[in-house]
């Protein structure tokens, strides 16, 4: 199928062709025609399958058909995203689809006064993180009563990082006569409840089961003692120094410490996490994108927000506490039809996380090295001669909006 066959006009098809989008993905084939007919959409698809275009194309087409100018302090369409990085990338994608619509980005880490001034003129499409949108609503800088199109992208991630209360505050302010599209890679119970509040008689589009890894990702696990993880990572990184590589750490401090260790080992590395300013995060991603650094160490702040071509390897230095995040992390490689490899490191105290991941996947992860830690006896062997360490009581990182 082609985009022409989806009923798009020649101008939009030409713009998509310029973006390198010549053939719709399965989620786009299913969602775009329904959205163009005004239906609410509940889209479930694994990461890297083209969800942004699946909602962006019908949003741009629908707004362009309505010859309206946005009223001051209003937005005709609203897109909510969980992280600053993802919101920024959505804006870039939408800007590639149209030169006629005004698109405004509001996220934390940027001047709220400048953002309020932009909204004073009104906007066709507002792309926002929930926290910053609430701040602007409290200042009466934005009135959502005229918003007739709403998109929630990576809705399950917004629930994971604590935006549920913000979403509950936003929903009553929206125009009741609106079209809503909600996209996600997983469908937890809380999101099912949220969809009932936001969606009216939705079409459910599910092109791959939740927890399914992208077909072109080869993923495996190394069983390795915690104090040998860094040594193993350096050994593996040394085999593909020219590749773009993403390394995931569970905590902010762990990510920064690991980045400095890799830098001392001679790798061009940078990091992105919640303790970084927006400027630092932007510069880190830009350097990773242009290839001036080859290794990006990240927390889950980046799991849904980085869409950079050519990421050849993903390393789970620490296994995620939320098993679904494993799929999102390794989905940063093998994008746009390319092959990719993902490698997880599993220490003795991470066996429960690995089992939870395998339960979500519905299959065991291939073993690349080491022997599985089985029971407390193996855990004791791994720590023999060292003082036992207490497991961290830190909660998962909350990402600033």
The answer to whether position 391 is within a domain reads no
Domain containing residue 233:
217-382
- Same domain for 196 and 271, yes or no, is no
Q: 371: helix, coil or strand?
A: coil
Token pair in block for residue 95: 């800007």
Nearest C-alpha neighbor of 328 from the set 181, 153, 205: 153
- Same domain for 352 and 225, yes or no, is yes
The answer to whether position 358 is within a domain reads yes
- Same domain for 336 and 264, yes or no, is yes
206, 237, 272 — which closes off a domain? 206
- Same domain for 309 and 332, yes or no, is yes
Query: Using CA atoms, how far apart are residues 226 and 229, in angstroms rounded to an integer?
Result: 5
The CATH number that applies at residue 83 is 3.40.50.300
Better pLDDT: 190 or 165: 165
Q: 67: helix, coil or strand?
A: coil
- Same domain for 233 and 313, yes or no, is yes
Residues in a beta bridge with 179: 149
- Same domain for 131 and 200, yes or no, is yes
Query: Using CA atoms, how far apart are residues 371 and 367, in angstroms rounded to an integer?
Result: 8
Query: Using CA atoms, how far apart are residues 351 and 372, in angstroms rounded to an integer?
Result: 8
- Same domain for 223 and 202, yes or no, is no
Q: Which of 140-144, 148-152, 177-181, 239-243 has the lowest mean pLDDT?
A: 239-243
The answer to whether position 241 is within a domain reads yes
Instruction: Summarize pLDDT for 273-293 with one digit per residue, the tens.
Output: 888 887 888 899 899 999 999
The answer to whether position 398 is within a domain reads no
Which residues have C-beta within 8 Å of that of residue 91, sequence separation ≥ 6?
103, 105, 127
Better pLDDT: 101 or 384: 101
206, 229, 252 — which closes off a domain? 206
What's this model's pTM, rounded to 2 decimal places? Answer: 0.76
Q: Give the phi and the psi of residue 223 in degrees, each rounded to 5.
A: -90, 115
141, 174, 206 — which closes off a domain? 206
Nearest C-alpha neighbor of 326 from the set 313, 337, 315: 315
Query: What is the DSSP-derived secondary structure letter of residue 270?
Result: E
Q: How many helices (H) and strands (E) does the chain have?
A: 15, 14
- Same domain for 198 and 179, yes or no, is yes
Nearest C-alpha neighbor of 365 from the set 377, 374, 375, 353: 353
The answer to whether position 346 is within a domain reads yes
Quick one: 95 exposed, middle or buried, by C-beta within 10 A (0-12, 13-18, 19+)? middle
The answer to whether position 401 is within a domain reads no
The answer to whether position 97 is within a domain reads yes
Q: Give the phi and the psi of residue 374 in degrees, each rounded to 5.
A: -120, 100
- Same domain for 184 and 54, yes or no, is yes
The answer to whether position 399 is within a domain reads no
Confidence band for 1, pLDDT divided at 50, 70 and 90: confident
Q: Among 155-159, 247-251, 335-339, which range has the highest average pLDDT?
A: 247-251
Number of structural domains (the chain) is 2
Query: Using CA atoms, how far apart are residues 174 and 187, in angstroms rounded to an integer?
Result: 24
- Same domain for 304 and 231, yes or no, is yes
Residues in a beta bridge with 313: 245, 341
Distances (CA, A) of 239 to 232, 244, 349: 11, 12, 28
How distant is the alpha carbon of residue 372 from its chain centre?
30
Query: Using CA atoms, how far apart are residues 45 and 314, in angstroms rounded to an integer?
Result: 20
- Same domain for 108 and 241, yes or no, is no
Confidence band for 396, pLDDT divided at 50, 70 and 90: very low
The label of the residue with tokens 């409840």 reads 193
- Same domain for 181 and 272, yes or no, is no
């Amino acid at each position: 199928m082609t985009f022409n066959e989806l009923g798009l006009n020649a101008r939009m098809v030409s713009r998509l062709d310029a973006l390198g989008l010549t053939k719709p993905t399965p989620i786009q084939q299913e969602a775009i025609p329904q959205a163009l007919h005004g239906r609410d959409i509940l889209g479930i698809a694994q990461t890297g399958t083209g969800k942004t275009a699946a909602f962006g194309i019908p949003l741009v087409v629908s707004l362009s058909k309505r010859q309206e100018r946005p009223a001051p302090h209003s937005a005709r369409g609203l897109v909510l995203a969980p992280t600053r990085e993802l919101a920024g990338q959505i804006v870039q994608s939408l800007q590639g689809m149209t030169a006629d619509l005004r698109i405004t980005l509001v996220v934390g880490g940027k001047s709220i006064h400048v953002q309020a001034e932009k909204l004073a003129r009104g906007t066709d499409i507002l792309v926002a993180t929930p926290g910053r949108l609430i701040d602007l609503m409290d200042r009466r800088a934005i009135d959502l009563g005229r918003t007739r199109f709403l998109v929630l992208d990576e809705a399950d991630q917004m629930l994971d990082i604590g935006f549920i209360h913000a979403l509950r505050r936003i929903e009553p302010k929206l125009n009741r006569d609106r079209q809503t599209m909600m996209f996600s890679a997983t469908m937890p119970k809380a999101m099912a409840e949220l969809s009932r509040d936001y969606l009216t008689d939705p079409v459910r589009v599910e092109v791959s089961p939740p927890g399914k890894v992208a077909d072109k990702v080869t993923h495996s696990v190394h069983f390795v003692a915690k104090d040998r993880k860094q040594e193993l990572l350096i050994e593996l990184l040394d085999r593909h120094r020219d590749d773009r590589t993403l390394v995931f750490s569970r905590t902010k401090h762990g990510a920064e410490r690991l980045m400095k260790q890799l830098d001392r080992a001679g790798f061009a590395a940078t990091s992105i996490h919640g303790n970084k300013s927006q400027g630092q995060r932007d510069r880190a991603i830009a350097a990773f994108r242009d290839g001036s650094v080859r290794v990006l160490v990240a927390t889950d702040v980046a799991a849904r927000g980085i869409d950079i071509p050519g990421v050849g390897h993903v390393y789970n230095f620490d296994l995620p506490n939320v098993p679904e995040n494993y799929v999102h992390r390794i989905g940063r490689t093998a994008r746009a039809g390319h092959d990719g490899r993902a490698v997880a490191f599993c220490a003795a105290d991470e066996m429960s996380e690995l089992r939870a991941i395998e339960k979500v996947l519905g299959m065991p992860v291939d073993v690349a090295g080491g022997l599985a830690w089985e029971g407390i006896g193996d855990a004791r062997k791994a720590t023999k001669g060292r003082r036992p360490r207490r497991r961290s009581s830190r909660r998962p990182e909350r990402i600033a909006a």
